Amino acid sequence: MGKILKLENIVAGYKNKFMLQNISFDVMKSSFTGIIGPNASGKTTLFKTIIGDISLQSGQIIIDGQDILLFSLKEKAQKLAIVTQYFDTPNLSVEDYVLLGRYPYNNRFQFFEAKNDYTIAHKYMHLTDVFKYKDRMITELSGGAQQMVAITRALTQEPDLLLLDEPTSHLDIKHQVQVLDLLQKLNKELKLSVLMIIHDLNLAGEYCDNLLMMSHGKIHKSGTPKEVLNYKDIEMVYDTLVVTQENPLSKKPAVFLVSGSVKDSS
C-alpha cells in the first residue's frame, strides 16, 4: 500500500502569529486518518495549508508521488476533494449542486454536463441517500442533509483523497453517526482515502484507523487510536483530567471527562 499524501518538514502559517513547525507525516492509500487537538493547536492551519489557502514557507506536500505545486487546478481537483466546516448554501437544486463536482473533468469548450456526468452524480447521490432530494433546493434541507450533499459533491469529483474539516461539529448525535458511518463505508468499500479534522475524541477513536494529535503547531503524537488516546497524552495536550477505557463492543478507546465536583470530592 503506497502513500496518497506526504508532508515533509512543513512550515506555514501567519507572519508574526501562529505557525506550523516542521510538520511531517504520511497518509497511506485507503486509510481513514483523523486530526485531533485543542483549539489553536494548528488543525485548521494544517488543513488550509494542504488545500492551498495558506502558502508554504518551506517544506513539500506530495500527492500520489508528485509535488502538489506541479498540479494544475483541475488536476488537483481530480486528486483531492474538500468538504469544509461551513459552506455557502447556493440557490441551487441538490442535483445541480452535486454536478458542480464534475467541473474538473469538463473540457475547455464544454458548457453543459455530459450524460456521463449525470450518471456519476446520480451514482453517488444514491450511495449517500440524497437522490430523494434531487429536485429540492439546498436551502430547504436540514444541516445534516446539507452535509451529506456537500460530501456527495466531493465524491462526484471521484478523488483519490477526501479532506474534511470537522464535518460533524454542528450536527446532533444521530446525524454525526450517519455522516461518519458513510465515510467509513466509503473508506472500506471504495478504498477512498480520508483525512478529517474532528473535534470529538470519542468519534475520532471509534471511526479512524490512525490519528494525528496536534499541539502548539506541532504533531504531539501519531498512531492508532489506542496508541494516541491515552489519558497521559490527552491530559498533557488538552490540560484536562480524563479517564480512558476500552469500548466493550468495538474495543476502541473511549474518553470520559471528570467534572470539577468529582475532582474536588476525590
pLDDT tens for each residue of 188-241: 999 999 999 999 999 999 999 999 999 999 999 999 999 999 999 999 999 999
Task: Kindly tell me if the per-residue pLDDT of 88 is higher than 90.
Answer: no
| Greater pLDDT, 264 or 218 | 218
Instruction: Quote the CA–CA distance of 159 and 27 in Å, as a whole number.
Output: 15
Task: Read off the C-alpha cell for 144.
Answer: 445534516
pLDDT (0 to 100) of residue 259 = 87
Main-chain phi, psi angles of 212, to 5 degrees: -115, 115
What is the edge-to-edge ordering of all strands in the sheet holding 3-13?
A: 19-28, 3-13, 56-63, 66-67
User: Residue 71: which residues within 8 A CB-CB, separation 6 or more?
Assistant: 63, 79
pLDDT of residue 150: 94
**% residues pLDDT > 90 (the chain):** 82
C-alpha cell belonging to residue 139: 436551502
Residues in CB range of 26: below 8 A, 6 or more apart: 3, 5, 6, 7
Whether the pTM exceeds 0.85: the reply is yes
For the domain made up of 3-224, give the CATH fold: Rossmann fold (3.40.50)
Domain ranges of the chain: 3-224
pLDDT tens digits, residue range 147-163? 999 999 999 999 999 99
